[in-house]
Amino acid sequence: MGPEDPRVVGRVRSTACLKRATVPGTARRPVAAVSAAALLFLSAAVVGCRASPRSDAPLYLTAGAQGPDTRVTLHAAPHLKINARLAPALELAGGTVLRFGGAPLTADSAYFSQPPSALLTGRHEEVHGTLRASVCRDDEQVCRSLTLEL
């Protein structure tokens, strides 16, 4: 999704997918067993354990490090576009409000043509709060307000 390797944040969490690695026929070769188990674990961690957004989620966030801070980016499902005239906002638990923007707009300045983002001070593994945004289906002229708890 970008050069910083952003991760999906909110209620979705990465978990270890592999509890125990067993490689048949490696009882006589403990070094090979450890190497094979390490390779298997790393492959699972890289390929299968990365958290991904639910397929039915209308909006989801990704986060990646940007210097000492965290860049939070708002993505819409493929059939939706994010209304730029009513800027999306994420209200954090402490009362801080992040306003999303800084992305190119469509020719009529009504929608974001790229995912909008916001800079959150400090490094954060997860972002929790209330997301408020206005989204429109590609085939409709009417936007709907969404409130999502992350």
User: Could you tell me the pTM of the whole model?
Assistant: 0.65
CATH number of 59-149: 2.60.40
Whole-angstrom distance, CA of residue 146 vs CA of residue 58: 9
Whole-angstrom distance, CA of residue 36 vs CA of residue 48: 17
The pLDDT profile of the chain, 150 residues, written as one tens digit per residue, is: 444 434 444 433 322 233 333 344 444 444 444 444 444 443 333 333 334 456 678 999 999 999 999 999 999 999 999 999 999 999 998 899 999 999 999 999 999 999 999 999 999 888 999 999 999 999 998 999 999 998
